[in-house]
Structure 1
Amino acid sequence: MQKRVTARIKWVPTEHGGKKRFPIKDYSTAAHFLDSDQTEAWSVVLKINSNYDDYITICDFCFLFPERAPQELVYIGSKFELFESRKVAEGEIIDIYFD
């Protein structure tokens, strides 16, 4: 049985310092969970599932290295921020289910 996680991502608009081009299919970057240590960041992978509506999209969420990732931070309602050289989005886990 495999766990699948869905997240809602709200991107920072370009005119407010966000990305110039938003991901279309897959995207990988650093994420900081608001429930974790302030200096901790984890590499995550997002698979975009919906079109952008008011800078919001729905995606599948996973850690790049799941065997090392803090699974206790992944629960419905868990919030995180995505970073490149700056914050580019805020996210929230909205669903967890098993295949």
Structure 2
Amino acid sequence: MSKSVIAKVYWVPLEKGGRTALPAGKQYATVSCFQEDAESWPQEAWSIVLEFDEPPLKQGNPSMARARFLVDAAPVDRLKPGRAFDLYEGVKRVATVEIIE
């Protein structure tokens, strides 16, 4: 399992094309888009797993989570404090994740 980092998840509001509701579970996985992957996205994308102590539906927006890549072979050096990337459900951007620590 790849290492996890502390992250703040900024959910895209529904009126700006985001989800109809924040996730109700304590785990959420979807595809990411990092700036360095923009040219090859969505054909090439890394899956991200977010684990919450409290579901985003309870936390609100933004939500705090532990973030990690789904696979060990992913570029873990991208999960450094100060970095940010977007999360997508299909081609719909649903959140921006900022790595805190």
The TM tier, using the shorter chain, reads 0.7 to 0.9
Pairwise CA RMSD:
1.6
Structure 1's unaligned 5+ residue stretches are: none
How many pairs does the alignment contain? 90
Structure 2 unaligned spans of 5+: none
2:98 to 81, 85, 92: 92
Amino-acid identity (%)? 38
> Where do 1:1-99 residues align within 5 Å?
3-24=3-24, 25-34=26-35, 36-38=36-38, 39=40, 40-50=44-54, 51-52=59-60, 55-65=61-71, 67-85=72-90, 86-95=92-101
Bigger proportion of residues as strand: 1
TM-score (norm 1): 0.81
Q: Which of structure 1's runs of 4+ aligned residues deviate more than 4 A?
A: none
**CA separation in 1, counterparts of 2:53 and 2:80?**
19
- TM-score, normalised via structure 2 length: 0.80
User: Where is the helix percentage greater, Structure 1 or Structure 2?
Assistant: 2
